[in-house]
Amino acid sequence: MTKTLLLLPGDGIGPEVSAVARRVAGRLISQGLALQVEEALFGGASIDACQLPLTPEVLAQAKAADAVLMGAVGGPKWAGQPYDKRPEAGLLALRAGMNVYANLRPARCFSALADASSLKRVFVDGLDILFVRELTGGVYFGEPRGVETLADGQRRGVNTHVYTTSEIHRVARIAFELARGRKGEVCSAEKGNVMEAGLMWREDVQALRDAEYPDIKLSHMLADNMAMQLVKNPKQFDVILTDNLFGDILSDEAGMLTGSLGMLPSAAIGDPGTPGLYEPIHGSAPDIAGRGVANPCAAVISLAMALRYSLGAPALADTVEAAVEAALDKGARTPDLGGTMTTAAMGDAILAGL
């Protein structure tokens, strides 16, 4: 059956890198992949056209698709607007509307880029970590929240870290399932030493493992220790399971071990059978937008993740990732990787491997 991919190019370099992902999808379709690609306005582009970053029509289109591939949203043009008129509000509404509660963030180093050490950045050759971060709960969403002024005039700010067992189990289940396709190992991070809800996280994750995933090797690590271990010996990790807050920070930390923002994809997925949302982790890069020099690799690898997790084509996902790797092996480099290639030329180099 033909699957549907909804492309939301967005703003800034979003449309530039999405165009390359679209070309890659087009090549796969011409080679027999049963996929239909749709495109819609999102973020600032949607605000300009219809005063809303995410229209109800586009949300409905996203929920009806099998996968959504987003470019990036935002930019100085919309920065001063009230929050609900900002592109970023559209992204949060899209995530909530699609009920994608597990954020998958690979931190993977492409060996071909080891030579780019002249770029003066960290690079851990052979690194291949997959973060599974809870995305719709925890302290970013918990009630009560807010800032109040007390009788003595000082202010009191509150955010609440809260999780239920079902919220923990559904994201842990995704981590365990993904671990089965990798090394069969999961390391779960929390602060069970000082947080009751952290200890509960640990116990609930362990209970699910014991009941349903006895084949998985589960370990637990305090989040502050993990922050250190990611610098000291990051290759000890394969799948890392975290709550929303710790995962936000630790996955950004791990991402920087791979050298370049332009190489990092992400996915947000929910219940089996519902569409996933795929996007590069980088933003709209207003400083280079319009110059045709953005690195499209993160967008293309995000497409590979969509093929793997939502479009039922894991072998093609491998093919696309191998094509990116082959292009890098042959020396294809955009400026962020120390080269001179344009976005389109990098796209040509990737397509040459398909």
Give the closest residue to 288 by CA, choosing from 104, 72, 139: 72
Phi and psi at 206, nearest 5°, equal -65, -40
Shortest Cβ 249–ligand NAI spacing (Å): 15
Closest CA to 174 of 265, 267, 108: 267
Identify which of residues 173 and 282 has a Cβ nearer to ligand NAI in the complex. Answer: 282
Using CB under 6 A, which of 251, 295, 302, 310 touches ligand NAI? 295
The residue assigned the tokens 């090549």 is 27
How far is 6 from 10, CA to CA, in rounded Å? 12
C-beta closer to Mg ion: residue 47 or 135: 135
Which is the catalytic residue, given 128, 252, 329, 348? 252
State the pairing for strand pair 102-108/128-134.
Answer: antiparallel
Count the site residues for ligand NAI by CB under 6 A.
Answer: 22
Do residues 63 and 275 lie in contact, with contact meaning Cβ atoms separated by under 8 Å? yes
CB 180 within 8 A of CB 146: no
Residues 4-63 that bind ligand NAI (CB under 6 A): 13, 17
Q: Does 248 bind Mg ion (CB under 5 A)?
A: yes
130: which strand partners?
Answer: 106, 239
As a whole number of angstroms, the distance between CA 161 and CA 87 comes to 26
Q: Which is nearer to ligand NAI, 26 or 286 (CB)?
A: 286
Tokens of residue 329, six digits: 């092996």
279 binds, among Mg ion, ligand NAI, none (CB under 5 to 8 A by kind): ligand NAI
Indicate which of ligand NAI, Mg ion, none lies near residue 248 (CB less than 5 to 8 Å, by partner kind).
Mg ion
- 106 marked as part of a ligand binding site: no
Alpha-carbon distance of 217 to 163, in angstroms, equals 24
Rounded to a whole number of angstroms, the minimum distance from the CB of residue 100 to ligand NAI is 13
Regarding beta strands 239-242 and 217-222, do their DSSP bridges make them parallel or antiparallel, or are they unpaired?
A: unpaired
Residue 234 or 262: the one with the smaller Cβ distance to ligand NAI is: 262
Chain positions 247 to 286 lying near ligand NAI, rule: CB under 6 A, are 261-262, 279, 282-286
Indicate which single residue of 143, 152, 196, 287 sits in contact with ligand NAI (rule: CB under 6 A): 287
User: Is 63 among the residues known to form the active site?
Assistant: no
| CB proximity list for 5: less than 8 A, separation 6 or greater | 25, 35, 36, 37, 38, 65, 66, 67, 68, 69, 306, 311
Q: Is 287 annotated as a binding residue?
A: yes
To the question of whether residue 120 is assigned a binding role by annotation, the answer is no
Kindly identify the residues of this chain, within the stretch 76-135, that bind ligand NAI according to CB under 6 A: 88, 91
Q: Which residues are annotated as a binding site for NAD(+)?
A: 75-88, 283-295
Instruction: Give the residue numbers annotated as catalytic, written as ranges.
Output: 140, 191, 224, 248, 252
Which residues contribute to the site for ligand NAI (CB under 6 A)? 13, 17, 72-75, 88, 91, 261-262, 279, 282-288, 294-295, 298, 336
Q: Which residues are annotated as a binding site for Mg(2+)?
A: 224, 248, 252
